[in-house]
Structure 1
Amino acid sequence: MTRLRNHFDRELILLLIFSIFAVAALLSPGFFFRAHDADHTVFYLIEFDASIRDGILWPRWSPDHAMGYGYPFWVVYAPLAYFAAEVFHLLGVGFTASIKIVMALSALFGGWGMYALLRRWWGRNGIGRGAALVGGLVYVYAPYHLLTLYVRAAFAEYVAMAWFPWVILAFDDVVEWGGLRRIALAALALGALFLTHSATLMVFTPLLAIYLLFALVRKTIRQRREQESWRQVIGSFAQVVAAGLLAIGLAAIFLLPLAAEQGAVQQKDWVAENYLYQKHFVWPNQFVDPFWGFGFSDDPTGPNDGMSFQLGIVGVVLALVAAVVGLRRASHRRGQTAFFVVALLAVLLLMMPLARPVWDAFGPAALIQFPWRLLSTASLFLAILAGAAVGNTLGTGEGSQFPAAHVLGLVVVLASLAFTVPQYTDIQPIDESVQSIMRFELAYPDMIGHTAAVQEPFTESPLLPQYLAGEPLQKVALIAGSGEVETLRTGGSSVDARVNLDSPSTVLFYTYDFPGWRATVDGQPAAHRTEPPYGLIAVDVPAGDHRVSIRHGGTPDRDAGTWISVVSLALVAGLLIFDWSRTRRKVAKADGSRSRPT
């Protein structure tokens, strides 16, 4: 019974219950398709599912993008959030409902992670749990989180933010205590973030590195003050590096092809006019403006955007309390509080127009697209400082069961509750079909992706009428020679056709050529070429009756990345098993020593 009580954490249960109100809107049978990314959040899963059902275990290709020519979307876009949603879809849940389930679980997972992080830092006693409760709720109810969920419906980005506190917790454990198990867990957490959302990764990883450098320096100072050996600090640094490298190895299945093949797509599609960071800075008053809207970041020169960039009044007040009280009061966490105060201020400055020279100097920053994406890390720092404010002001020990923390947690919920109501829409059959992709690309032609081989932009294709009419797709045509062609099957990453040719002919597949495509004629490998001006796949076929097929598969960099990830995963599993086995032996030895007669 005592062991059960030790593991039963009332404040964690309370956190999860309070967090349900943040995602209660997801329990509605409808969705919010007027949110910025809602349409393609759903049809990305449709495309992902198509490749899974075509026998591709790690999808790279989206067959219906670019007016039906397809696009190597999963080469350039991290897929882990969609793997999670696909699990529910394969269990029989609808596309939209699968997305909603993962969104809801991510909110709870992120809040739990912040709770675990703050409880580790502020202790397992009553005040520590109170600090963790408030910080966890500030994280779940951060306005930017609710904006990402209900205004933007940015699925993968929302899931990625749930990993932030877990990554910090795991790496902080490596710095403080080290060990094989902690290295493995840190690698898993960071590797998962790598595989969830690329732009968020670019925002978070540099700040993580700076924090770890701070933590290592702090440990060095503590070790020297206690006149202990440098060996522990050097060992901690080596273990942090090992965990980071192992995380990269786990994500190599995505990162290596991304690095090797990104030049085969037109980069300007990802930094088009509407995505230029120069147009999306945040003005200082917007951080505290209580305005809430469902519009866009559409004021390139001023603070009159149609969406909110507020930090949240409760989080701001608690951060100020942490800065004033926490930095004045002697505490083993004072240096840490100071770090996050400075980090928060730095992140806020980087989102403002005055930081443009910094963005201009760092070329890859253009891929972040929106400086206000740094609100993801600002929300993280605010939640940490909220926990610090509670930990520094409510005293120590159990006290009177710290009701102040409970009341403060309720205030956090009530302050953001109005932001949890989306613009509901009914789910129509077209919303969960490939026709939604055509509808979207017709409305937003700037969102059509192009490979590097595309010489002429386009806004329609021969496949468009077939898609809109809901007809079976005819993805094959003759561009030289004569005869008959028939599309037999179109899969997520393959097309099969039958041709009956009067003479040697050229068969054109209405599919972008891209690394990984292979052609066969009657089951035998066949050469193919890239046909201008749209960069499609062309295959020369002899006269007669033949089956001509194309299938998207591996490349040397994809195969190498896959093997690196497999080996890294095996190493992680080995570290966990070895540590578990060693711990069991130590426990058994200790039990044996206690039971030995004297």
Structure 2
Amino acid sequence: MRPSWFSPTRPTAAGRVRLRWPDAWLPWLIALPIAWALWPGGLPNTADGRVHFIRAAEMIHTWQDGVWLPRWAENLGFGLGIPLFVYAPPLPYFLTGLLHLAGLDLETAFKGTWLLGLWTGTAGAYHLGRSRLGWRAGVVAATAFAYAPIQLRELFIQGNQAQYLAWAFAPWAAWSLIRIFETGRRRYALTLALALTGTLLSHNAAALLAMGMVAVLGLTLSGVTRSLRGLWLSVGGSVLGLLLSAWFWVPALLEGQYVHLDKIVASDFRQRFIPLEELVALSPPLDTGAINPYFPLTLGAVQVWMAALGAGVLLAWGVGRLLRPGSSWTGIRLEKLDGGSGLFFVAFSLFCGFMALAWSEPLWDLLPFLEFFEWPFRWHGFTALGLSWLCGLALVGWSRLLRLPAAAIEGATMLCVLLLMGSALVNLYPHKLAPNRQEVTPADVVRFEVRTGAVGTTSLGEFNPIWIEGALQDSPLVQDYLAGRPVDRLAGALPDGAEGEQLLNRAQEHRFRLRLPQPATVTLQLLYFPGWVAWVDGEPVAVRPQPGTGLLAVEVPAGEHELWLRFIDTPLRWMADLASAAAWLLLAFWVGLALMQRRPLSWPRRRLQIQGPTWGQVASLLGCVLLILGVRAAFPDRFRLESPPDQALPASRPLRADFEDQIRLLGVDPAPETAWPGEAISLVAYWRALQPLETDYAVYLHLDAPDGQTVATTDLRHPGDIPTSDWATGLYVRSPFRLAIPAEAWPIRYDLHLGVYDPVQGRNLAASPGSQWGASVGQLWVMPAHGSEPSAGLWARFGEAIQLVDVKYDLELSALVLYWRREGPVPDGLSIFVHLLDDQGVVLGQADGVPYQNLYPPDAWWPGQVVEDVRALPHVDVARTAAIALGVYELGSGRRWPAVDSQGQPLADDALLVRIHP
């Protein structure tokens, strides 16, 4: 295959690819500022970091009991056990455990896993760009990927280590596919299989997206290269990846009916879409005075603009081929493989970015499984991959288009690196917890569940066995754990007169000696789940769940017996294990055979050597990295905020409302003043704990009518996704709300109130200065959604600001429909009179008041809004009704406002007379 023009090449005598030594270290150098921000001090104070830390600790606890491939987490579920590792991909916790076994304390090992993910993703993006575009493009692509805002948000703010690690394997999967179609060699099918295995064992949702990416990219490259061998190798590599990881994903998928996976979606994805302006925004400075500082879900403005330039290169190439086939008048010559890859990454980036926007809602509803992704920003990890390749293309493509000399190309490369790293400086000041070198004991695991309510390390209990009725809230074992006593799984299990002794209590194995005066059902403090088997004196006996509690129950005959319990694989798990074992053995055999032949794995006999960077060029990149580190150290105040203890500087509207002596509202980013029925509004609240909190309070945002009736509400169980018991008193919490306006909401003015309540006791916390509805945080006008449009014109004017623009009569309702409009400010205390008069002017009946059942007085009308006012007329003798008098008056004095007709002529008695003939 002819080499791409992007990759300077030369033939070698040996015929092998030999990377220069500096080239192998470039990913480490590129990632150095991120690692420098991560490594010193304690762990970043992230939303999900503690959850993954606890899971890693629980993995290590099972290893200490000799179970090296666990499926059961003994200490979770308040010590009753949870089948966590049947459903939670285990690779992040394996890596932390291996680093811990190597001698690192658990905290350092946990950071080490983050660093492995950082290097894996950076190196993958580098080699993806380098393989066809050259090392300079690889450097830019790796920088764009590693410093993508979503990557740094996951690392320093969100803390979902599993998702971060899964994203890191995606560049390797794309690189493997391109190499498969470039060389047709089997070794790249192997790297594809390993990349997919890493993704499948890291994060379930990301794995589904990665499989979709591999399928579409493989079909695209197959179509442009017409390589049947490449297609079969890509399919084979994908199947091998599925087999290598089948021991995990097959049980997780097919045994999902044993847990509450229907609860895994905690919120509606429709509330999580990202505004377009946020998608392409620059990241603002992070506030060190916040527990969860604002971090927009942006793709990165620099990445987006550079990728757009890369797409322009592809456009110029396409135009050139269209206008002058076979020529290179634009200076760009691309092979089919490069063009196909480029078109894929353009379409892929646009599609993934589109899926994060509200415009994609029909696709979310149409495509299967997407509702389980829950967070549209999950697509960002893959969007960052496509953008990073296009950023590399932009560098080399425009260098060629502009015919830059070599020195200018070097300068452009370093400028791109500085722009990408510099735009991320605001994200390199993570808020960290105090260093803690203590190991996490089983008691700490249980204490975490008790304190946070995250039973089984999940907030909704989705991994709880289905045989538990209701939520798992406590167990008799908690006191044993917290007091440091041996765990007694026989607590409350034996009938009167029976005796029992616990002989063995390990992660997936328990033994007891029992003395029973009569046959009995022994219910252990252990949750039932398929895989638990029991023997009494060596004879197998059946186990079953106790109704309601879900505890494991065993029938034991009278007398003295030894009861032995073990958690083993079900037949389905055994089959999945065997399939994976066979795949790993096949892989080991193939690698061993190649090693015995003492030659590189399937390298082609004739090959071109891709030129790597010189030491001088590496020194230039090192200078850029050192410059970024120097700026970060010298000017921290330029790239971060620091709110005082009792303020939230990012809040656009400061407030001060205390909810008893527990929580203070510091301010809000208010909602818009107007909205339409069926629309959703956003509001951000800033809270601070006034003292260390033991209760996990919830907060709400209410949309209240003027009469106090709540017409819409949204509650947050954990404001900012952080339990209030975890709030530090010196820091604030940013809590975004999204409130849906009911489609049937009247088009009137509503009040917005924020409140705090105890979800366990069901008690609202009183707000100072004593509002029964919480703290008032603004007003909202709901605009009319539809209805009869008033005719153009003016019927009458009352005072200087109130207009009557139309009058209609609804025969079916026997109601008068008035259309009002306010053009300027008016005082409060106004009302509208509707009098039915006979031919002598005598009032036969009246229907005074303001629109919408007296809830919308003129002073509350939105300026310019046409207010529909439906008045049911009193039951009077229609034959005697000669006219209806309309006007505006002051409630206190009864004085009518001056009225003029459409021509500006004063009206008698300051009233408009309307004659109705039904």
Instruction: Name the TM-score class by shorter chain.
Output: 0.7 to 0.9
Hey, what does 2:271 align to over in structure 1?
A: 279
Query: By how many angstroms is 1:292 displaced?
Result: 5.8
Cα separation, partners in 2 of 1:37 and 1:353, compared to 1, 3 Å: same
Equivalent in the alignment of 2:237: 243
Question: What residue ranges of structure 2 are gaps of 5+ in the alignment?
Answer: 1-12, 318-331, 607-918
Secondary structure of residue in 1 paired with 2:31: helix
Of 18, 22, 30, which residue of structure 2 is paired with 1:10? Answer: 22
Task: State the distance in 2 between where 1:73 and 1:579 align.
Answer: 38
- 1:453, 1:532 within 8 Å by CA — same for their partners in 2? yes
C-alpha separation in 1, matches of 2:245 and 2:140: 33
Provide the secondary structure at the position in 2 that maps to 1:235.
Answer: helix
Structure with larger Rg: 2
User: Which of these residues, 303, 306, 327, is aligned with residue 315 of structure 1?
Assistant: 303
Moved more, 351-360 or 321-330: 321-330
Counterpart for residue 406 of structure 2: 399
**Within 5 Å, which residues of 2 pair with 1:581-596?**
584=599
Q: Find the partner of 2:440 among 427, 432, 447.
A: 432
Map 1:42-441 → 2, pairs under 5 A: 42-122=53-133, 128-220=134-226, 233-272=227-266, 275-289=267-281, 290-291=283-284, 306-329=294-317, 330-332=332-334, 333-395=338-400, 399-400=406-407, 402-428=410-436, 432-441=440-449
Rounded to whole Å, the distance in 2 between the matches of 1:46 and 1:492 is 13
The whole-number CA distance in structure 2 between the counterparts of 1:119 and 1:580 is 27
Deviations 1:264-317 (A, max 9, x none): 111133123xx432332211111123246689xxxxxxxx99442011222112
CA pair 155-462 structure 1, distance change in 2 beyond 3 A: same
Structure 2 counterpart of 1:475? 489
Note the alpha carbon deviations across 1:339-398, whole angstroms, 9 max, x for none: 212211111111112222221223422222211111110111111111111121223899
User: 444, 450, 453: which is aligned to 2:453?
Assistant: 444
How far did residue 216 of structure 1 move?
A: 0.7
Letter in 2 for 1:310: T
Tell me which amino acid in the other structure corresponds to 2:417: G
Does residue 26 (structure 1) correspond to residue 65 (structure 2)? The answer is no
Q: Equivalents in 2 of 1:484, 1:368: separation in Å?
A: 50
> Once structures 1 and 2 are overlaid, which stretch shifts more, 560-569 or 517-526?
517-526
- Structure 1 residue ranges (4+ consecutive) displaced by more than 6 angstroms after TM superposition: 2-5
CA contact (8 A) 1:50 1:491 kept: no
Query: Does the 8 A contact of 2:117 with 2:168 survive in 1?
Result: yes
* AA aligned opposite 1:389: A
Specify which structure has the higher proportion of strand.
2
Q: Are the aligned partners of 2:274 and 2:297 in contact in 1 as well (CA < 8 Å)?
A: yes
In structure 1, C-alpha distance between the alignment counterparts of 2:358 and 2:482, rounded to whole Å: 43
Match of 2:635 in 1: none
Alpha-carbon offset, residue 556 of structure 1: 0.8
The alpha-carbon deviation at position 580 of structure 1 amounts to 5.4
* Residue deviations 1:101-143 (CA, integer Å, cap 9, x gap): 1111221121111111111111xxxxx1111111111111111
Distance in 2 (CA, whole Å) between partners of 1:29 and 1:523 is: 53
Of stretches 485-494 and 64-73 in structure 1, the one that deviates more from structure 2 is 485-494
Q: Bigger shift: 489-498 or 340-349?
A: 489-498
Cα deviation code 1:4-57 (max 9, x no counterpart):
99532535534422312112233224112x311111111101111122222223
Amino acid at match of 1:450: N
- Compared with structure 1, are the counterparts of its residues 527 and 564 closer, same or farther at alpha carbon in structure 2 (3 Å cutoff)? same
Structure-1-length-normalised TM-score: 0.87
Q: Deviations over 1:509-555 (max 9, x none)?
A: 22221111112234443321111212111112233443323221111
Q: Equivalent residue for 1:563?
A: 578
Partners of 2:103 and 2:437 in 1: how far apart?
A: 16
What is residue 529 of structure 1 aligned with on the other side?
544
Give the percent of matched residue pairs that are identical in Structure 1 and Structure 2: 26
Contact 1:180 1:575 in 2 (8 A): no
1:477 aligned counterpart, secondary structure: coil
For 2:220, give the aligned amino acid. Answer: F
Deviations along 1:444-483, whole A, 9 cap, x unmatched? 3544342121223232222223333333221223445332
AA aligned opposite 2:164: Y
Inter-CA distance 509–341: structure 2 relative to 1 (3 Å threshold)? same
Q: SS in structure 1 opposite 2:369? A: helix
Distance 1:467 1:277, change over 3 A: farther
Letter of the 1:18 counterpart: I
* Paired residue type of 2:440: E
Give the C-alpha shift of residue 578 in structure 1.
Answer: 4.4
Aligned to 1:40, which of 21, 45, 51? 51
1:261 deviates by 1.0
- Kept after mapping to 2: 8 A contact 1:174/1:186: no
User: Which residue of 583, 587, 603 corresponds with 1:572?
Assistant: 587
Residue pair 2:533, 2:566 contacting (<8 A) in 1 also: yes
Superposed CA RMSD in Å reads 3.0
Quote the offset at 1:175 in angstroms. Answer: 2.4
Letter matched to residue 117 of structure 2: S
Residue 676 of structure 2 is matched in structure 1 by none
Deviations for 1:491-510, whole angstroms, at most 9, x for unmatched residues?
A: 22223333333332322222
2:564 is the alignment partner of 1:549: yes
2-side partners of 1:284 and 1:488: how far apart? 62
- Could you tell me which runs of 5 or more consecutive residues in structure 1 were left unpaired when the two chains were aligned: 123-127, 221-232, 296-303, 592-598
Moved more, 491-500 or 352-361: 491-500
Maintained 8 Å contact 1:184/1:575: no
Decide whether the 8 Å contact of 1:477 with 1:485 is kept in 2. Answer: no
2:829 counterpart residue number: none
Is residue 2:462 matched to residue 1:460?
no
Distance 1:9 1:584, change over 3 A: closer
Contact 1:65 1:71 in 2 (8 A): yes
* 1:106–1:159 CA contact under 8 A, matched in 2: yes
